Amino acid sequence: MTLLQAFVTLPVLLPMLGAAASVIVSPRASLQRVIGVVTLALVCVVAGVLLVSADSYGPVVAQLGGWPAPMGIVLVADRMSALLLLISTLVTLAVLVYAIDQRISDYGRETASTTFHPIFLLLSTGVSLAYLTGDLFTLFVAFEIMLASSYVLITRRTSASRIRSGMTYVIVSLMSSLLFLTAVGMVYAATGSVNLADLAGRVGMLPEGLKTVLALLLVVVFGIKAAIVPLHFWLPDSYPNAPAPVTALFAGLLTKVGIYALLRTQTLVFPQDHPSTLLLVIAAVTMVVGALGAVAQDDLNRLLSFLLVSHIGFMLFGLAVYTPSGIAGTALYIVHHITVQATLFLVSGLITRRTGTVSIAQMGGLAQTAPHLAVLFAIPAITLAGLPPTSGFVAKLALLRAGAGATPAAEIVAAFVVLASLLTLYAVARVWVRVFWGTPKEPLVDNDPNDELVVGTARSARGMYVGASSLIVVSIVIALFAGPLSAIASRAGDDLQTREAYRSAVLGPDTAPGGPGPVPVAAVPQGPAAAGGGAAIGAMTADDAEGTTSR
């Protein structure tokens, strides 16, 4: 295993080791904070290196345990996974900075935690593993790591009623996990493999009916985890009941991992050469139902949760188009939405701490009493609505272009993108008018000072503002570098559509486009950006079983 191949394992190993170290030093609060920040900062650097390498030379593959694919477990960093890994880890780091200063403000600088920091890092482990894994069963393991971690975070220091709300999340997640495990078993029984690159060749040889059933089962599984309508019912009742940094992390990452899993499996294992009418309909319904649900809310966190559901439909739309431009638009929208949605929930936490309530009707006049909060809310709000020249506008424009060049059904759903964007603008404008304009109101007294939701009024540490502001800076950088980022997303879309760069890197350059076996030289991708031939970093041949690495 080369040094670069070893780098692929670090986004999984570093947070796991950091979690263990955090437990060991749990009596020392300052050491826990240092371990968390340093660990995530290192993962950011590793993710950046992997993105540059994957974009320049092709997917980076690590064959774990010395077992070549498809028999062994593989970790794969291609353009798509490395890009999402980088942006997700940046968001996780910013949320951790916010959470650290919130805990210092609430409990004092010397108060440590035996659960928060280790579980936070363990959740990052699950997210990294989900992005990098190259087989279905390990993807299931990654989701279980995220589920166990998120359940601990969502139920820490909270009331019995909120634990009941959290149970909805856990029960639904467990049901989807059972469906996922069933799907993995059915796929293995039908094909004899769970390796994604190997399945790309084997699934095509299955009867059409069986292939459709397996594809739809995975759509349901990942649809629950991504909260697409009508499988979204658990999210608006669960996310708003967690502390602000936890909600921001969940909203920014967990649903996007579901979309990524759907994107990876539907393009690599169950590819189509035309838009999917079913996914187009689901995308349109998700956009509109989520946006209308947001308009009807008085609870600020529930409003943001419904907007999260609505914008999952935007990402699903790009996948449903099933073109490289559509997939590229989805990738760009995920990158934009991870940062913006997490920012809005962090700012919501700051607003709640100042006002003592989550009720929009009981707020008012914050633009006079806290103008900095008005700015922190306004920038991500208009970005989410997609006003130019924000990153949201760039991402939505990419989706609209993809839809406009596809079928009439896709063009109709593209109109729903515009409608949902207008409803989003109305929802955030309504929040702005009722929360920031008008006569300032006195903050309410916290009814439950022992939880981590509303802990004191007008008390927010400087680091909390730093965490939220840093994500706004990331969003602005995405808009400023929209050209290079769009180019990377476009190349990632091409990779997912053609599939051969991924398959050649994992299984070796002698893998046929339709399944295992030798292929003519002309069928192997060429060039430094392809994963075929000698350019595939980590690509393995039969010689690797004897310890020889193919260069």
pLDDT tens, residue by residue, 361-391: 888 888 888 888 889 999 999 999 989 889 9
pLDDT value of residue 451: 53
With contact defined as beta carbons under 8 Å apart, do 391 and 382 qualify?
Answer: no
List pLDDT tens digits, range 482-514: 889 999 999 998 888 888 888 888 887 765 444
User: Is 284 within 8 Å of 312 (Cβ atoms)?
Assistant: no
In the chain, the percentage of residues whose pLDDT exceeds 90 is: 45
The pLDDT assigned to 449 comes to 55
Is residue 196 scored above 50 in pLDDT? yes
Q: How far apart are the first and last CA of the chain?
A: 12
Residue (of 29, 11, 225, 259) closest to 124 by Cα position? 11
Number of CB atoms found within 10 A of residue 154's CB: 23
Q: Tell me the three-class secondary structure of 459-499, residue by residue.
A: CCCHHHHHHHHHHHHHHHHHHHCHHHHHHHHHHHHHHHHHC
pLDDT of res. 222: 93
User: Quick one: pLDDT at residue 437?
Assistant: 87
What is the pLDDT averaged over residues 314-326? 91
Q: In this predicted model, what pLDDT tens digit does every residue of 155-195 receive, in sequence order?
A: 776 666 667 767 788 888 888 999 999 999 999 999 988 99
Q: How confident is the model at residue 72 (pLDDT cuts 50, 70, 90)?
A: confident
The span from the CA of 183 to the CA of 189, in Å, is: 10
The residue to which tokens 């050469």 are assigned: 273
Could you tell me the pTM of the whole model?
A: 0.87
Q: Which residue has the higher pLDDT, 549 or 109?
A: 109
Asked if the bond preceding 389 is cis, omega within 30° of 0, the reply is yes
Residues 101-144 pLDDT 10s: 888 777 767 666 778 889 999 999 999 999 999 899 999 999 99
The Cα 295–Cα 336 span in angstroms is 22
Q: How confident is the model at residue 112, as a pLDDT?
A: 64
* Residue 356 structure tokens: 């003592």
Chain-wide mean pLDDT for the chain?
A: 84
* The pLDDT of residue 344: 94
% pLDDT > 70, the chain = 86
The full DSSP string for 262-275 is: HHHHHHHTS--SS-
**pLDDT band with cut points at 50, 70 and 90 for residue 547:** very low
- In this predicted structure, what is the pLDDT of residue 83? 94
Residue 455 has pLDDT above 70, yes or no: no
pLDDT at 394 over 60: yes
Is the pLDDT assigned to residue 7 strictly greater than 60?
yes
Residue 517 has pLDDT above 60, yes or no: no
Question: In which residue are the tokens 């009439």 written?
Answer: 408
Does 261 have pLDDT greater than 90? yes
Coil/strand/helix, residue 452: coil
Q: How far is residue 443's CA from residue 459's CA, in Å, rounded to a whole number? A: 11
Residues making up the chain, counted from first to last = 551
pLDDT score of 504? 86
3-state secondary structure (DSSP) of residue 60:
strand
**Region 255-267 average pLDDT:** 92
Measured distance CA(306)–CA(232) in Å, rounded:
9
- Domains of the chain, residue spans: 2-509
Cα separation, 322 vs 286, whole angstroms: 18
